[in-house]
Amino acid sequence: MNYFGDEIEVFNARKWNWQTFKSTEGYPVADNLLDWVIGQERALAECYLCLEEWVHKLKYLEKEKWYDAWKDPDMEKPNATKTAPPGPYLLLLGDPGTGKSLIGRALAVHLTELYRAHKIQLKDVVCWQNNLIPSEPKISCHPASEGKKIIFKEKLKATKKLFLQKVGIKALTYMMITVACIFMFAGFYYLWGQKVQWDTNAMGAFGPIQETYGGDFTKYVLDSFIQIGTTTFLPAGMMLMFLILVVVMGRFGIMGGAKGVGGAKATTVPKLIVDNTKKVAPFIDATGHGSAQLFGSIAWDPLQTGGLGTPEHQRVSAGDTHRAHLGILYIDEIKNLKPTEAVTLLTVLEDGQLPVTLRSRWDEGNTAAMAVSTEPVPCMCFLVGAGNFDSIGQLHPALMDRIYGYGKVVRMNNDMQNIVENRRKYVQFIAQEAHRFHLLPFSRGACEEIIDEGRRRSNKRDGLTTRFRPMISIVKTAAVLAMIEKCKIVDKRHVKEAIENHCKTIQKQILENQISERGKLLNIRPEGAKLGQIYGLAVVSDPYSSEMTGNVLTVKGFLEKCDNSRNNNHQKGYYKVTGIAKGEKERFITDSVAKVRSVILQKYGVDIAQDFFTHIDFAQAYGVDGPSAGVTMTILLCSLIEGKPIMQDVAVTGEINVGVDGEIPVTAVSGLHEKIKAAEAWGFRKVVIPAANYKHSIDPSDYDIEVVAGGTLEDYLRECGISQDTRRGSRRMDLGK
């Protein structure tokens, strides 16, 4: 096979020779994330179409001056009935690892380019204090990067005001300290004068001072202090007490601009709640987020807000929907949205605006934050939802209806054609991951082995899987194995070792371990030939991840005519199958059991439920289900009727069907790769599978076991060693009545 062709291709301004390249070293990896999306051309085309509609909508809104209502926080905001038209939205459905989140990120990059081309501006959102009704903070919207300038300007004004307050308070403080000191000095100076008068025994109003006070200096000083203190010490003390009061008031935030209880600042500076300074269309991954994260909330806990003194507008936190305004809001597993969250999201999608109020698991309590609700905040986001195919039935019906009506539901491809162009894209994928994780370059042979693994995982001979996330693990592990060996390049053997030994999911490891432990108790011997025993192939699936691993089933049978001498001639026959799923768990096995009865009647003219005592047992198996058991049971009964043994080194799988035009067809089943690997691990020589599966999915070179196609029951009988001669006269068992 010519894996990559022989052209010289030019991309990213560099040449790349597909015929002669030896490794991915030097591969021109693109910077644009859209170029990283592989195998999803249809999905990308639908995304581009939606983005064009989105840009047209935004241009119309700018023409209608929709944002003018948010320029000034004091202006009245538009009513919900006059908001922007809804849509478009995207819902990407597909298996994990097919690139849904990568498409979301790539769309944000492409959206930035479209905004620049059409001169559409991103917006910053600022939350302001409402002086009239503090519990209803005001909102303004400004061109990107203007928000920080507004905050800086308001902070500067507040700082100037605070500075002037502090300067005024300090000036008053110093002046009062000076005056108090003067009064204190005057008081002490006057007392000193009184002491001088006492010492000189100066004449007072009633004669010599000492004689007047009877020589008691203490009484004289106290009397003088009372007279002097009323005019000196008392005013000075009052001034000092006032200064102490001012300091205490400032510490507890009573003075403007000072700290309040718990250290919070009672500031009037607005808060920037949405910042688009980078001028790049935002990509917000809201997967798994609750109501508070999705739609914003009001902080109420002092430990969250910084203190009880934090004003209402400073406690507002925008949600994902607000931060994704004019950008991409990506929600994976969108089916997991709670009903209340889905309904609120409907409001966002319909109105393009949503107030911020208290939203949390505590929103049923009694807190002051419950009374706080902002004006409508713009949140016109481009919703990109993602999920598996079961999301269609589990998504909120009203939300699903909006997506169908105003957006698009896009199916992600699980595989792409195995052609030269797409094999080249696999090389691109390998080079991208090596560049992203700073790995060694991969050799040409290593790239081919990864492509082969992609083909095997697609379950199509002419397909390549587009579930690239599991493939990333192979790329990284192979590179690490090469680095451990101190190689300069990742070779084919490193990739093989990574695939076979290191890159199995935990579910697959658990399943393989369980089957291995059970295998020690099973008597599976793929050798010789036996009558009444055959080996069938099945798969075991993990209920959560859908991971599968192969399993070998030992199927045994007993068949005896009703008119046997040891039985009552009047006793009717019976048809029992044991070891299969029962009750609610059975889905397909009951149909297979019924088909086997009809096929045997069609082929041999006997009813195994009336003419025979028939018992088929899936030995040591519990709850076997699925259509692939049909051909196994049919071959087993044919062997018993023919009286010819079945080759034990041959394992089979396939769905039996009622014959038409003399042929009994065997049709396709699932999990072929896992089944063949299980037979290979147990040492079987040959596996017989439906011809449709062989043509569609299987490359025999992938396996060390012989893989044979069978289109009809006769093909299967021949491969299992049972004679092609199935005429009634040649059978050992007497089928006569």
In a domain, 403, yes or no: no
pLDDT recorded at residue 665: 93
Residue 580 shares a structural domain with residue 698: yes
Cα-based distances in Å from 642 to 327, 636, 721: 71, 10, 12
Residue 118 shares a structural domain with residue 231: no
Q: Which of 138, 265, 675, 677 is catalytic?
A: 675
Q: What's the CA gap between 388 and 411, in Å, rounded? A: 10
Average pLDDT over residues 441-452: 94
Q: What's the CA gap between 143 and 153, in Å, rounded? A: 16
User: Based on the number of CB atoms within 10 Å of its own CB, is 170 exposed (0-12), middle (13-18) or buried (19 or more)?
Assistant: exposed
pLDDT recorded at residue 431: 94
Q: Per-residue confidence at 731, pLDDT binned at 50, 70, 90?
A: very low
Q: What's the CA gap between 36 and 436, in Å, rounded? A: 11
647 forms bridges with which residues in the sheet? Answer: 529
Residue 47 shares a structural domain with residue 141: yes
Q: What's the CA gap between 18 and 424, in Å, rounded? A: 8
Residue 94 shares a structural domain with residue 226: no
Q: CATH number of the domain that 651 lies in?
A: 3.30.230.10
Token pair belonging to 431: 């080079």
1, pLDDT greater than 70: no
Q: What's the CA gap between 600 and 616, in Å, rounded? A: 14
Residue 561 shares a structural domain with residue 705: yes
Q: Which of 628, 639, 670, 697 is catalytic?
A: 628
- Domain boundary residue among 263, 289, 319? 263
Token pair belonging to 346: 């409907």
DSSP state of 338: -
In a domain, 171, yes or no: yes
pLDDT recorded at residue 267: 77
pLDDT recorded at residue 538: 87
Q: Per-residue confidence at 424, pLDDT binned at 50, 70, 90?
A: very high
Amino acid at 351: D
Instruction: Report the half-sphere exposure of 725 (CA within 13 A, side-chain side).
Output: 6
Q: CATH number of the domain that 289 lies in?
A: 3.40.50.300
pLDDT recorded at residue 570: 56
Please tell me whether residue 377 adopts helix, strand or coil conformation.
Answer: strand
Q: Is 86 left (phi over 0), alpha (psi -120 to 50) or beta?
A: beta
Tens of pLDDT, residue by residue over 190-203, are: 778 777 777 777 66
How far does CA 53 lie from the centroid of its chain? Answer: 27
Q: What's the CA gap between 601 and 575, in Å, rounded? A: 13
The runs of H, that is alpha helices, within 352-467 are 391-394, 397-406, 420-436, 444-458
In a domain, 438, yes or no: yes
pLDDT recorded at residue 262: 42
Amino acid at 366: N
Residue 490 shares a structural domain with residue 342: no
Highest mean pLDDT out of 240-244, 515-519, 582-586, 671-675: 671-675
Tens of pLDDT, residue by residue over 135-169, are: 899 999 999 989 999 999 988 888 888 778 778 87
Token pair belonging to 562: 């009703």
Residue 64 shares a structural domain with residue 193: no
Close Cβ partners of 377 (under 8 Å, ≥ 6 residues apart): 125, 139, 273, 274, 296, 318, 322, 353, 354, 355, 356
572, pLDDT greater than 80: no
Q: Where are the beta strands (DSSP E) in 242-308?
A: 271-274, 283-285, 297-298
Amino acid at 28: P
pLDDT recorded at residue 448: 94
More confident residue, 269 or 547: 269
In a domain, 252, yes or no: yes
pLDDT recorded at residue 678: 87
Q: Is 628 assigned a catalytic role?
A: yes
Q: CATH number of the domain that 492 lies in?
A: 1.10.8.60
Residue 26 shares a structural domain with residue 37: no
510, pLDDT greater than 80: no
Pairing mode, strands 271-274 and 123-128: antiparallel
Q: What is the DSSP string of 152-180?
A: HHHHHHHHHHHHHHHHHHHHHHHHHHHHH
- Count the helix, strand and coil residues of the chain and give each as a percent rounded to the nearest 5: 45, 20, 35
Average pLDDT over residues 213-234: 72
Tens of pLDDT, residue by residue over 110-134, are: 898 899 999 999 999 999 999 888 8
- Containing structural domain, residue 255: 163-263
The values of phi and psi at residue 463, to 5°, are -130, 165
pLDDT recorded at residue 260: 43
Q: What's the CA gap between 462 and 471, in Å, rounded? A: 18
pLDDT recorded at residue 481: 96
Q: How many domains does the chain have?
A: 4
Q: Which residue has the tokens 């100037």?
A: 160
Q: What's the CA gap between 140 and 124, in Å, rounded? A: 8
- Domain boundary residue among 452, 470, 503? 503
In a domain, 270, yes or no: no
Average pLDDT over residues 546-562: 84
Q: What's the CA gap between 158 and 270, in Å, rounded? A: 11
Q: By mean pLDDT, which of 89-103, 179-193, 199-213 is the weakest? A: 199-213
Contact 376, 342 (CB under 8 A): no
Question: Average pLDDT, whole number, for the chain?
Answer: 83
In a domain, 158, yes or no: no
- Domain boundary residue among 233, 263, 293? 263
Average pLDDT over residues 388-411: 87
Q: What's the CA gap between 492 and 206, in Å, rounded? A: 124
Average pLDDT over residues 233-244: 77
Average pLDDT over residues 450-464: 89
Close Cβ partners of 120 (under 8 Å, ≥ 6 residues apart): 55, 58, 59, 62, 114, 326
Tens of pLDDT, residue by residue over 646-689, are: 999 999 999 999 988 778 999 999 888 889 988 988 889 999 99
Q: What's the CA gap between 83 and 26, in Å, rounded? A: 51
More confident residue, 540 or 639: 639
More confident residue, 7 or 301: 7
pLDDT recorded at residue 659: 84
pLDDT recorded at residue 176: 82
Q: By mean pLDDT, which of 329-338, 458-467, 618-627, 714-723 is the weakest? A: 618-627
| CB < 8 Å & 24+ apart, contacts of 246-250 | 246/169, 246/173, 250/169
DSSP state of 498: I
Average pLDDT over residues 392-405: 87
User: For residue 381, which of 286, 288, 270, 317 has the smallest C-alpha distance?
Assistant: 286
Tens of pLDDT, residue by residue over 319-359, are: 999 999 999 999 998 988 988 899 999 888 888 889 998 87
The values of phi and psi at residue 202, to 5°, are -65, 160
Q: By mean pLDDT, which of 281-290, 352-361, 376-385, 627-636 is the weakest? A: 352-361
Instruction: Please state, for a pLDDT cut of 90, what percent of the chain lies above it.
Output: 32
**Per-residue three-class SS string for 662-708:** CECEEECCCCHHHHHHHHHHHCCCEEEEEHHHHHHHCCHHHCCCEEE
Amino acid at 425: K
In a domain, 383, yes or no: no
206, pLDDT greater than 80: no
Token pair belonging to 127: 């939350």
Pairing mode, strands 283-285 and 90-93: unpaired
Tens of pLDDT, residue by residue over 524-545, are: 889 999 999 999 998 877 666 6
pLDDT recorded at residue 45: 87
Q: Which residue has the tokens 């658990």?
A: 510
More confident residue, 213 or 397: 397
Amino acid at 568: N
Residue 69 shares a structural domain with residue 14: no
Token pair belonging to 574: 């019976």
Q: Which residue has the tokens 């009865």?
A: 597
Q: Where are the beta strands (DSSP E) in 164-290?
A: 203-204, 207-208, 271-274, 283-285
Q: Is 675 assigned a catalytic role?
A: yes
In a domain, 238, yes or no: yes
Average pLDDT over residues 22-32: 88
559 forms bridges with which residues in the sheet? Answer: 614
CA-based radius of gyration for the chain: 43
Residue 579 shares a structural domain with residue 712: yes
Q: Which residue has the tokens 């029951």?
A: 713
pLDDT recorded at residue 44: 87
pLDDT recorded at residue 498: 95
Q: What's the CA gap between 353 and 142, in Å, rounded? A: 15
Q: Which residue has the tokens 């054609």?
A: 417
pLDDT recorded at residue 261: 41
Q: By mean pLDDT, which of 203-212, 286-295, 457-466, 610-619 is the weakest? A: 203-212
Q: Per-residue confidence at 719, pLDDT binned at 50, 70, 90?
A: very high
Residue 685 shares a structural domain with residue 620: yes
Residue 493 shares a structural domain with residue 549: no
Cα-based distances in Å from 366 to 105, 363, 721: 40, 8, 80
User: For residue 449, which of 490, 488, 484 has the smallest C-alpha distance?
Assistant: 490
